Amino acid sequence: MKRLLLILILASAARASTLPGFHVQVLQGAPGFLTSLAVDSGGTIYYSIKSGDVLRLGPAEKVAGTPVVVAHVATEANGNCGLIGLALRDDNTAIVHYTTPAITYDIVSAIDLTTGAESEIHRFVCDKDVAERGVSSEHHGGNLTIAPDGSIFLAIGDYGMGGLAQDPAWNAGKLWRILPDGSTVQFASGFRNPFDLAWDAATQRVILTDNGDAVDDEIDVVAEGDDCGWPYTAGNRPPVAGMRPPVYTFPVVVAPTGMAPLSGRNPILRRGYLLGSYVAKALFYVPDVYANPVPDPVAVIQNESDPIIDVAEGPDGSVYFASGFVIYKLIVPASGDCNGDGVVDAADISALSKELSGGPHATTSAHASWGCDVNGDGMIDARDLAALAGMVRGRAVRR
């Protein structure tokens, strides 16, 4: 059975297409629908399963080929409900977001990753008028993120009832900040179904994506107090006075999912964000959300057989992503590997010369491997050719 599962996973990975020089390595299949992915300071992966399990994938589990359940929360997988978010506060503690079985509350809890013990931090009532009545299983958001000061940011969708996003009395359709003392702040409003987010401490803003109801999937840069417009406006629809428009609207339906800010530790994917997608089944690279205009996201991976649910960066810059049932590692091109064959040699000089025949251009516009950006400055130009020539000469001397 295990061999058959591995064959099916490898066949699934083979159907996906990557940009030149990028490769995908299968790490492990998940024993249920995977909803969130996080990596600790030692490179151990933790992930959540919709039915309520938190699992660990560390060096021992990779060798054994068997995931280890470290905790379970009381929930039910139903629509956009269940255990739908996970982030690491530190190497010993996960913060999770899940819905109660009757969909009466969105719960945020701390999980001790050694003992599996749960400590509830806050519960957001779903139906403000009759709590035990519960609400729809749709649009409960998902992932959370943790700021350096310990604040937890969480976006909750509109429960499939758009008008709630504009009603301050309801928790739905809002972006929340849970302060270290446990108190909550309604940070922003006007969201339909945001799945993931990132805190930008330098600008005191939240970067998040919101799933639209038509061709209006968004990337938003949100300051405290912002109203992002739903349901009065969305995407490229006419703006409404006093409401913050998105910084980017996807031209087709992609259904954005997990998002990872890049730290500069990855040799090729140095800055910006990686973003998964449910409908497009792609992993997008977004180089800059503050540019005007924001450049079109580039699909590093596309045509996956399953939706890409979440993505995370490890402490060494390694990138991991997950479809519904499989965890992968993204192998990026080596610096100087311009032809994408995995080796840096004289053939790459020819490939880079050909790449430059049309003049200097952004790395994201490369026809060949992104490894053509030898100096990692985001541009492919004559400086990269000089750097590559030096690398090749140096290797020839060492041999």
Report yes or no: 184 and 171 within 8 Å, Cβ to Cβ: no
Q: Which range marks the domain in which residue 130 is found?
A: 2-331
Higher pLDDT among residues 9 and 149, named by residue = 149
Angle between helices 346-355 and 382-398 (to 10 degrees): 170
Q: Any idea which residue has 């490939």 for tokens?
A: 351
pLDDT for 351 equals: 97
What residues contact 380, with CB distance under 8 A and at least 6 apart?
352, 355, 356, 360, 361, 362, 363, 366, 372, 373
pLDDT for 65 equals: 76
- Position 336 in a domain: no
Residues 385 and 296 occupy one common structural domain: no
pLDDT tens string 59-85: 888 766 788 999 999 999 999 999 999
- Position 338 in a domain: no
Residues 196 and 226 occupy one common structural domain: yes
The closest of 174, 196, 180, 89 to 125, measured between CA atoms, is: 174
Higher pLDDT among residues 5 and 350, named by residue = 350
Residues 287 and 321 occupy one common structural domain: yes
pLDDT for 60 equals: 80
pLDDT for 1 equals: 39
pLDDT for 91 equals: 98
Report the alpha-carbon distance of residue 100 to residue 116 in Å, rounded: 18
Residues 165 and 255 occupy one common structural domain: yes
- Position 341 in a domain: no
User: Is 268 a residue whose pLDDT tops 90?
Assistant: yes
Report the alpha-carbon distance of residue 270 to residue 285 in Å, rounded: 11
Taking residues 273-301, report their average pLDDT.
Answer: 97
pLDDT for 15 equals: 58
Residues 102 and 228 occupy one common structural domain: yes
Residues 211 and 112 occupy one common structural domain: yes
Residues 300 and 366 occupy one common structural domain: no
Q: How many domains does the chain have?
A: 2
Confidence (pTM): 0.94
**8-state DSSP, 348:** H
Residues 291 and 357 occupy one common structural domain: no
- Position 372 in a domain: yes
Q: Which helix (H) or strand (E) holds 350?
A: helix 346-355
Rounded to 10 degrees, the C-alpha dihedral 53/300/266/201 comes to -70
pLDDT for 397 equals: 43
User: Is 89 a residue whose pLDDT tops 50?
Assistant: yes
- Position 340 in a domain: no
Report the alpha-carbon distance of residue 251 to residue 245 in Å, rounded: 15
The closest of 277, 137, 275 to 208, measured between CA atoms, is: 275
pLDDT tens string 22-66: 999 999 999 999 999 999 999 999 999 999 999 999 988 876 678
**Three-state SS at 75:** coil
Taking residues 159-168, report their average pLDDT.
Answer: 97
Residues 306 and 356 occupy one common structural domain: no
Residues 319 and 380 occupy one common structural domain: no
pLDDT band at 5 (very low <50, low <70, confident <90, very high): very low
pLDDT for 61 equals: 81
Q: Can the peptide bond before residue 293 be classed as cis, meaning omega within 30 degrees of 0?
A: yes
pLDDT for 2 equals: 43
Taking residues 229-243, report their average pLDDT.
Answer: 96
- Position 169 in a domain: yes
* CATH code of the domain containing 22: 2.120.10.30
Residues 390 and 279 occupy one common structural domain: no
Residues 116 and 227 occupy one common structural domain: yes
- Position 179 in a domain: yes
